[in-house]
Every structure is written in C-alpha cells, then in structure tokens.
C-alpha cells in the first residue's frame, strides 16, 4: 500500500531532463518537497514552476556534481532551506557508447566523473541526514535510490566504459544496502533498459547502435521509471524493494 510523502524532503539529481525530471515531478505529486539538481539552471526553473503549478513544492539547485564541493553544497543547502532529507534519487549521468577504438579516454573519463564520482560525491554527505530521517521522521524510514542500468547487470560489446560505471553503481548500492539495513535506510537500485530521453544524444551513433542490437522497438517513457522509484519509496517501512530491472517489453 503506497504511503504519502507529505512532510518529507527529496533530492533528485539529473532533474533537468528525462528520468530525473519525471521522478522529481512524481515525488512532488506524492507530497515530497523536492530539491531538483542539474547544471542547466533554466531547465530547473521551468520544472520548479511546473511542480508549483501542480500544487507541489520544489527548490532548484544548479550544480555540477563532478565537483565534490558543489555536490556537498547541494546537500547543505537542501537541509538548511528545507530542514531535512528523507530521500536521495541519483539519476544524473551520461552515456558515450561506441566502438572502443573510436572512443577517447576523455569519453570514459566523462562517464566515470558523473556516473560514478558524482554519485559518490553527493551520496557521502547525504548519508548522515538520511540516517537521521530514518531515526526521527514519522515514517521512520529513508531511501537512497540509484539509477543504474541494464548495462549495470549485463555487459555488451561497444559499451565497456558505460558498463564499468553502471556495474560500479550496482555494486555500490548493494554494499550500502547491507551496511544500513538495520538503520532503516533503504538502498535500492533501478536498472532501466531503453528509455526515451536525451541520453542517446550524448554521443552521435548511440541510438543507431541500440537499434542495430535490438531493432526498432517501443521505448520506455521517463514516467515508467519515475513510477518504479515512487513504488520503492512509498512502500511501508518493513518493505525494501532492493532492485528493479525494467525493460521495454520488446527489448530482448
């Protein structure tokens, strides 16, 4: 039975587009006040306006999460202005796929910097606040949800760097899950297949590479992933949804 998130505060990264944007909107509709984070401030302002127009509450925070100080600043500002932190959803990420001989070290660095380092940089300062929420909030539970990927479960040709970062996210999640289970900080991973977002625009040829592998199929929508995140965080305290793999039904 889904619980209401009224009175809780969530941070959603990658909120300027795609999965993060949709997740922020969905959590706000469920009652959470959402701190929305990405680099593109104009997109965040638009999203905040849309959330407010729907009766929700949002705090846009423009930050580049590949800088540890900016990531820590997001957590500090959220707690200073909104008073607490119950939920962190890590959705910020980039995907630069293609034949390894065509990719540069810089392409791999960019994925490591945001998909892994950025996620670690914001998670570390968030943990004490999430543990405090799990101990003292009315629901007595807090949530950390990491958006990994099917590519964090199964490796494939021409996606080595992305696989490395997303396997890292999946492993990081499982380790934290075990460490904080008794404290009622639920740590979950969502592993989507192909979702219709800007992710496949990050490098020319990514979309074509996917179609070559799986054919022309109907993609998931960002709201499908937002619904999965909402399912995780609105479950009552005694239920932990550890991992959700979610693919388009035609993705083999």
Tokens 């490098």 locate to 203
Question: Can you tell me which of 5, 8, 20, 34 binds ligand NAP, judged by CB under 6 A?
Answer: 20
Q: How far apart are CA 57 and CA 42, in angstroms?
A: 17
Residue 158 found at the interface with ligand NAP (CB under 6 A)? no
Name which position in 5, 147, 226, 233 contacts ligand NAP (CB under 6 A).
147
Contact residue for ligand NAP among 10, 30, 38, 233 (CB under 6 A): 38
Total binding residues for ligand NAP by CB under 6 A?
30
Encoded tokens for 251:
């993705």
Residue 86 phi, psi dihedral angles, 5° rounding: -105, -25
- Contact between 198 and ligand NAP per CB under 6 A: yes
Taking the C-alpha atoms of residue 170 and residue 147, their distance in angstroms, rounded to an integer, is 9
Binding mask 165-194 for ligand NAP (x = CB under 6 A): ---------------------------x-x
Nearest C-alpha neighbor of 166 from the set 250, 97, 106, 102: 97
Q: Under the criterion CB under 6 A, does residue 159 sit at the interface with ligand NAP? A: no
Q: How many CB atoms lie within 10 A of CB 211?
A: 13
C-beta of residue 218 within 8 angstroms of C-beta of residue 247: no
Helix/strand/coil (H/E/C) assignment for every residue in 114-174 = HHHHHHHHHHHHHHHHHHHHHHHCCCCCEEEEEECCHHHCCCCCCCHHHHHHHHHHHHHHH
Task: Tell whether residue 61 is a contact of ligand NAP (CB under 6 A).
Answer: no
The piece of 38-46, 73-81, 177-185, 231-239 that touches ligand NAP (CB under 6 A) is 38-46
Q: Is 219 a catalytic residue?
A: no
**Using rule CB under 6 A, residue 94 touches ligand NAP:** yes
CA distance linking residue 122 with residue 119, whole number of Å: 6
Q: How far is CA 89 from CA 21, 85, 100, 110, 250, in A?
A: 11, 11, 30, 20, 27
Q: Which stretch binds ligand NAP (CB under 6 A): 34-42, 51-59, 125-133, 230-238?
A: 34-42
State in angstroms the smallest separation of the CB of 202 from ligand NAP. Answer: 6
Least distance (Å) from ligand NAP to the CB of residue 114? 4
Nearer to ligand NAP, 84 or 153 (CB): 153
Nearest Cα neighbor of 124 from 176, 183, 201 is 176
Q: Is 19 a residue that touches ligand NAP (CB under 6 A)?
A: yes
Bridge partners (DSSP) of residue 220 are 195
The single residue among 16, 87, 206, 235 that binds ligand NAP, judged by CB under 6 A, is 16
Write down the least CB distance from residue 168 to ligand NAP, Å: 12
Summarize as ranges the residues that interact with ligand NAP (CB under 6 A): 13-20, 38-40, 43, 64-66, 91-95, 114, 118, 147, 149, 192, 194-195, 197-199
Instruction: Please list the active-site residues.
Output: 162
């Amino acid at each position: 039975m889904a619980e209401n998130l009224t009175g809780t505060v969530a941070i959603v990264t990658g909120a300027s587009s795609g999965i993060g944007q949709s997740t922020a909107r969905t959590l706000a509709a469920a009652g959470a006040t959402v701190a929305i984070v990405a680099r593109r401030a104009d997109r965040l302002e638009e999203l905040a306006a849309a959330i407010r127009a729907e009766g929700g509450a949002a705090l846009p925070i423009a930050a580049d999460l590949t800088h540890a100080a900016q990531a820590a600043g997001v957590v500090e500002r959220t707690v200073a202005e909104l008073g607490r932190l119950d939920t962190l959803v890590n959705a910020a990420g980039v995907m630069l796929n293609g034949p390894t001989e065509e990719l540069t070290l810089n392409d791999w660095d960019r994925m490591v910097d945001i998909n892994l380092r950025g996620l670690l940089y914001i998670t570390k300062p968030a943990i004490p606040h999430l543990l405090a929420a799990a101990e003292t909030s009315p629901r007595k539970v807090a949530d950390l949800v990491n958006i990994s990927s099917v590519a964090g479960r199964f490796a494939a040709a021409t996606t080595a760097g992305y696989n490395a970062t997303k396997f890292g996210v999946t492993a990081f999640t499982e380790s934290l899950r075990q460490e904080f289970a008794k404290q009622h900080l639920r740590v979950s991973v969502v592993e989507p297949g192909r979702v219709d977002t800007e992710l496949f625009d990050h490098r020319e040829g990514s979309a074509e590479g996917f179609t070559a592998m799986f054919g022309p199929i109907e993609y998931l929508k960002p709201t499908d992933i937002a619904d999965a995140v909402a399912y995780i965080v609105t479950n009552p305290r005694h239920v932990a949804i550890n991992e959700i793999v979610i693919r388009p039904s035609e993705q083999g």
